[in-house]
């Protein structure tokens, strides 16, 4: 059973911003990035407890090929995506979204 997915507004903005950055790097690269992040989000919704806790009750799934991680919280009927976060950014930033 797959849980419903909800995005924190800042996570959605990060996702859009990163996608635009990749599209500016190379035409079509944004589609590859989007597909990989969507794969991560789907896996998190299907098997949320499979992923390690990154901070308190927040879990993390690392993207393949791109230096991004998806941070999420598991709730009773859904997962909440808190951040689509580049690996070189300070993780303290997304921790304030809890």
Residue owning tokens 């009773």: 76
Q: In the chain, what is the straight-line distance between the N-terminal and C-terminal CA atoms, in Å? A: 25
What's the pLDDT band for 89 if we cut at 50, 70, 90?
Answer: confident
CATH superfamily, with its number, for domain 4-95: RelE-like (3.30.2310.20)
Q: What share of the chain is helix, strand, coil (3-state, %, to 5)?
A: 45, 30, 30
What's the pLDDT band for 94 if we cut at 50, 70, 90?
Answer: low
Asked whether the predicted pLDDT for residue 49 surpasses 70, the reply is yes
For residue 69, how far is the Cα from the chain centroid? 5
- pLDDT tens-digit readout, 57-80: 999 999 999 999 999 999 999 999
Q: Are 21 and 29 in contact (CB under 8 A)?
A: no
Q: Which helix (H) or strand (E) holds 43?
A: helix 29-46
Q: Which two tokens stand for residue 44?
A: 């998190």
Q: Is 52 helix (H, G, I), strand (E, B) or coil?
A: coil
Looking at every residue in the chain, the average pLDDT score rounds to 92
- pLDDT tens-digit readout, 16-38: 999 999 999 999 999 999 999 99
Q: Is 86 helix (H, G, I), strand (E, B) or coil?
A: strand
């Amino acid at each position: 059973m797959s849980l419903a997915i909800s995005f924190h507004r800042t996570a959605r903005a990060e996702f859009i911003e990163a996608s635009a950055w990749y599209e500016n790097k190379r035409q079509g690269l944004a589609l590859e990035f989007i597909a990989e992040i969507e794969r991560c989000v789907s896996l998190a919704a299907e098997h949320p407890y499979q992923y390690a806790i990154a901070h308190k009750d927040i879990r993390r799934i690392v993207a393949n090929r791109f230096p991004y991680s998806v941070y999420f919280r598991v709730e009773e009927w859904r997962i909440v995506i808190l951040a689509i976060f580049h690996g070189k950014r300070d993780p303290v930033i997304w921790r304030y979204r809890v």
